Structure 1
Amino acid sequence: MRGLKVILLTLVALPAVFAVKSHDFKTCSQAAFCRRGRALATRARESSSWTSPYSVDPASVTIDPTKATFTAGVRSSIYPEIKFGLDVRVHEDGVVRVRMDEVDGLRKRYDEASSWALIADPEISREIQWTVAKDAVRAVYGHNNNIEVVVAYEPLKVSLLRNGQEQIVLNGDGLLHMEHFRTKEAVDQEKSGWALPEAPEEGLDLEDAQVVMQMNPRSWFEGVGDDGWWEETFGTWTDSKPKGPESLSIDINFPNHGHVYGIPQHATRLSLPTTAGEDAYYSDPYRLYNADVFEYLADSTMSLYGSIPVMHAHSAESTVAIFNAVGSETWIDVAHFVPKSTHTHWISESGIMDIFLMPGPTPADVFAQYARLTGTSALPAQWALGYHQCRWNYISSDDVRDVQTRFDEEDIPVDVFWLDIEYAEDHKYFIWDKKSFPDPVDMLHDVEAIQRKMVVIVDPHLKRTDNYPIYQQAKDLDLLIKKKDGQEYEGWCWPGSSAWVDFFNPASWDWWKSLFKTMPEGDKWAWIDSTENTYIWNDMNEPSIFNGPEISMPRDNIHYGGWEHRDVHNINGMLFHNMTAQAVMHRTDPPKRPFVLTRSFYAGSQRLGAMWTGDNLGTWEHMAVGVSMVLSLNVGGFSFSGSDVGGFFGNPEPDMLVRWYGVGAFSPFFRAHAHIDTKRREPYLLEEPYKSIVRDILRLRYSLLPVWYTAFREASVNGLPVVRPHYVVFPQDEGGFDLDDQYFVGGSGLLVKPITRKDVTETTMYLPENEVYYDYFTGHAYRGAATGKNVTVPAELHQIPLLIRGGSIVPTRERPRRASPLMKHDPFTLRVALSTTGTARGELYLDEGETFAHQAGQFVWRAFEATAEKGGKEIRIRSRDLAARNLDTAVDGVALTTYDARNAFAKDVARVRVERIVVLGLSREPRSVVADGKEVHWEYKAGAAAASKGEGTASMLLVKDPHASITTDWEITIHL
Structure 2
Amino acid sequence: MRAFSSFILLASIVPTVLSVKTQDFKTCSQAGFCRRGRALATRASESATSWKSPYSIDPNTVFIAPNQASFTASVKSSLYPAISFGLDVRVHDDGVVRVRMDEVNGLGKRYDEAASWALIAEPKISSSIQWKVGKKDVRAIYGKGVEVVIEFEPLKVTLLKNGQEEIVLNGRGLLHMEHFRKKEEPKLAVEAEVPEEGLNADDAQKVVKLENPRAWFEGESEDAYWEESFSSWTDTKPKGPQSLFIDVTFPNHGHVYGIPQHASTLDLRTTTGEDPYYSDPYRLYNADTFEYLADSTMSLYGSIPLMHAHSTDSTVGVFNAIGSETWVDISHPTPKSTETYWISESGILDIFLMPGPTPKDVFAQYSSLTGTQALPADWAIGYHQCRWNYISSEDIRTVQKKFDEADMPVDVFWLDIEYAEDHKYFIWDKKNFPDPVDMINDVQDTSRKMVIIIDPHLKRVSSYPVYQEAVERNVLVKQKDGTSEYEGWCWSGSSAWVDFFNPASWDWWKTLFKTHSLGDGKFSWVESTENVYIWNDMNEPAIFNGPEISMPRDNIHYGGWEHRDVHNINGMLFSNLTSQAVMERSTPYKRPFVLTRSFYAGSQRFGAMWTGDNLGTWEHMAVGIKMVLANSIAGFAFSGSDVGGFFGNPEPEMLVRWYHVGAFSPFFRAHAHIDTKRREPFLLDEPYKSIVKDILRLRYSMLPIWYTAFRESSVTGLPVVRPHYVVFPKDEGGFSIDDQFFVGGSGILVKPVTEKGVTEASVYIPEDEVYYDYFSQHAYRSAAKGKNITVPAALHQLPLLIRGGSILPTRERPRRSSTLMKQDPFTLRVALDKTGFNARGELYLDDGTTYSHQEGQFVWKEFKSEKQSKNVIKISSHDLGSEKPTEAVDGVALTTYDGGNAFAKSISSVRVEKLVVLGVASKPKGVKLGGKELEWEYTPGVGAQESKKEGIASVLVIKDPKVAITTDWEISIQL
TM-score by length of 1: 0.97
Task: Give the distance between the partners of 2:5 and 2:29, measured in 1 at CA.
Answer: 37
Name the SS for the 1:80 alignment partner: strand
Residue 726 of structure 1: how far off its partner (Å)? 0.3
Please list, as runs of the form range in 1=range in 2, the aligned pairs for 1:188-227 lying within 5 A after superposition: 189-190=186-187, 212-213=208-209, 215-227=211-223
Residue 7 of structure 1: how far off its partner (Å)? 3.9
Q: Kindly provide the CA deviation profile for residues 20-48 of structure 1, in whole angstroms up to 9, marking residues without a partner as x.
A: 10000000000000000000000000102
Q: Is the 8 A contact 2:397 2:439 kept in 1?
A: yes
Task: Give the distance between the partners of 1:151 and 1:4, measured in 2 at CA.
Answer: 56
1:455 counterpart = 2:451: yes
Aligned to 1:229: 225
1:168 counterpart = 2:164: no
1:419 counterpart = 2:415: yes
Task: Give the distance between the partners of 2:453 and 2:716, measured in 1 at CA.
Answer: 31
1:775 aligned to which of 770, 773, 776: 773
Aligned to 2:528: 530
Shifted more, 894-903 versus 580-589: the winner is: 894-903
1:568 counterpart = 2:553: no
1:827 counterpart = 2:794: no
Aligned to 2:509: 512
- Inter-CA distance 351–948: structure 2 relative to 1 (3 Å threshold): closer
Task: Give the distance between the partners of 1:157 and 1:792, measured in 2 at CA.
Answer: 49
1:252 aligned to which of 230, 248, 263: 248
1:493 counterpart = 2:493: no
Aligned to 1:93: 94
Q: Is the 8 A contact 1:88 1:99 kept in 2?
A: yes
Amino acid at match of 1:264: P
Aligned to 1:201: none
Name the SS for the 1:445 alignment partner: helix
Q: Is the 8 A contact 1:209 1:224 kept in 2?
A: no
Aligned to 2:82: 81
Residue 216 of structure 1: how far off its partner (Å)? 2.6
2:303 aligned to which of 290, 307, 315: 307
- Inter-CA distance 975–156: structure 2 relative to 1 (3 Å threshold): same
Aligned to 1:665: 663
Q: Is the 8 A contact 1:491 1:498 kept in 2?
A: yes
Aligned residues: 963
Task: Give the distance between the partners of 2:947 and 2:579, measured in 1 at CA.
Answer: 57
1:476 counterpart = 2:476: no
Name the SS for the 2:886 alignment partner: helix
Task: Give the distance between the partners of 1:950 and 1:290, measured in 2 at CA.
Answer: 52
2:346 aligned to which of 343, 346, 350: 350
Amino acid at match of 2:940: A
Aligned to 2:391: 395
Aligned to 2:463: 467
Task: Give the distance between the partners of 1:482 and 1:922, measured in 2 at CA.
Answer: 70
Q: Is the 8 A contact 1:945 1:953 kept in 2?
A: no
Aligned to 1:844: 843
- Inter-CA distance 20–936: structure 2 relative to 1 (3 Å threshold): same
Aligned to 1:904: 902
Residue 869 of structure 1: how far off its partner (Å)? 2.1
Amino acid at match of 2:460: R
Amino acid at match of 1:748: S
Shifted more, 90-99 versus 217-226: the winner is: 217-226
Please list, as runs of the form range in 1=range in 2, the aligned pairs for 1:658-807 lying within 5 A after superposition: 658-807=656-805
Residue 676 of structure 1: how far off its partner (Å)? 0.5
Q: Is the 8 A contact 1:637 1:719 kept in 2?
A: yes
Amino acid at match of 2:346: S
Please list, as runs of the form range in 1=range in 2, the aligned pairs for 1:544-559 lying within 5 A after superposition: 544-559=542-557
Aligned to 1:867: 866
Residue 464 of structure 1: how far off its partner (Å)? 0.2
5+ residue gaps, structure 2: none
Residue 4 of structure 1: how far off its partner (Å)? 12
- Inter-CA distance 969–549: structure 2 relative to 1 (3 Å threshold): same
Aligned to 1:585: 583
Q: Is the 8 A contact 1:910 1:966 kept in 2?
A: yes
Aligned to 2:22: 22
Name the SS for the 2:927 alignment partner: strand
Task: Give the distance between the partners of 2:379 and 2:218, measured in 1 at CA.
Answer: 55
Aligned to 2:403: 407
Q: Is the 8 A contact 2:75 2:84 kept in 1?
A: yes
Please list, as runs of the form range in 1=range in 2, the aligned pairs for 1:309-328 lying within 5 A after superposition: 309-328=305-324
- Inter-CA distance 890–511: structure 2 relative to 1 (3 Å threshold): closer
Amino acid at match of 2:42: T
Q: Kindly provide the CA deviation profile for residues 687-708 of structure 1, in whole angstroms up to 9, marking residues without a partner as x.
A: 0000000000000000000000
Residue 890 of structure 1: how far off its partner (Å)? 5.7
Amino acid at match of 1:86: L
Residue 889 of structure 1: how far off its partner (Å)? 1.2
Q: Is the 8 A contact 2:856 2:901 kept in 1?
A: yes
Task: Give the distance between the partners of 1:592 and 1:356, measured in 2 at CA.
Answer: 33
Name the SS for the 1:414 alignment partner: coil
Name the SS for the 1:217 alignment partner: coil
- Inter-CA distance 777–197: structure 2 relative to 1 (3 Å threshold): farther
Q: Kindly provide the CA deviation profile for residues 454-513 of structure 1, in whole angstroms up to 9, marking residues without a partner as x.
A: 000000000000000000000011000000112000000001000000000000000000
Residue 193 of structure 1: how far off its partner (Å)? 6.3
Task: Give the distance between the partners of 1:571 and 1:196, measured in 2 at CA.
Answer: 52
Name the SS for the 1:81 alignment partner: strand
Residue 10 of structure 1: how far off its partner (Å)? 4.4
Q: Is the 8 A contact 1:259 1:271 kept in 2?
A: yes
Q: Is the 8 A contact 2:189 2:211 kept in 1?
A: no
Q: Kindly provide the CA deviation profile for residues 802-852 of structure 1, in whole angstroms up to 9, marking residues without a partner as x.
A: 000000000000000000000000000000000012200000000100111
Name the SS for the 1:438 alignment partner: coil
1:147 counterpart = 2:146: yes
Aligned to 2:965: 966
Name the SS for the 2:157 alignment partner: strand
Residue 784 of structure 1: how far off its partner (Å)? 1.6
Q: Is the 8 A contact 1:768 1:785 kept in 2?
A: no
Residue 5 of structure 1: how far off its partner (Å)? 10
Amino acid at match of 1:478: N
Identity %: 72
Aligned to 1:65: 66
Amino acid at match of 1:457: I
- Inter-CA distance 316–196: structure 2 relative to 1 (3 Å threshold): farther
- Inter-CA distance 313–12: structure 2 relative to 1 (3 Å threshold): farther
Q: Kindly provide the CA deviation profile for residues 38-86 of structure 1, in whole angstroms up to 9, marking residues without a partner as x.
A: 0000000010200101011011111112211100000111111110110
Task: Give the distance between the partners of 2:202 and 2:935, measured in 1 at CA.
Answer: 86
Aligned to 1:284: 280
5+ residue gaps, structure 1: 199-203
Amino acid at match of 1:127: S
Aligned to 2:259: 263
Aligned to 2:128: 127
Task: Give the distance between the partners of 1:797 and 1:205, measured in 2 at CA.
Answer: 68
Task: Give the distance between the partners of 2:194 and 2:687, measured in 1 at CA.
Answer: 76
- Inter-CA distance 564–380: structure 2 relative to 1 (3 Å threshold): same
Residue 901 of structure 1: how far off its partner (Å)? 1.0
2:376 aligned to which of 380, 396, 408: 380
Amino acid at match of 2:153: E
Q: Is the 8 A contact 2:13 2:545 kept in 1?
A: no
Name the SS for the 1:615 alignment partner: coil
- Inter-CA distance 605–208: structure 2 relative to 1 (3 Å threshold): farther
- Inter-CA distance 419–211: structure 2 relative to 1 (3 Å threshold): farther
Aligned to 1:939: 937
Residue 154 of structure 1: how far off its partner (Å)? 0.6
Task: Give the distance between the partners of 1:606 and 1:206, measured in 2 at CA.
Answer: 56
Name the SS for the 1:233 alignment partner: strand
Residue 897 of structure 1: how far off its partner (Å)? 2.1
Q: Kindly provide the CA deviation profile for residues 700-732 of structure 1, in whole angstroms up to 9, marking residues without a partner as x.
A: 000000000000000000100000000000000
Q: Kindly provide the CA deviation profile for residues 644-667 of structure 1, in whole angstroms up to 9, marking residues without a partner as x.
A: 000000000000000000000000
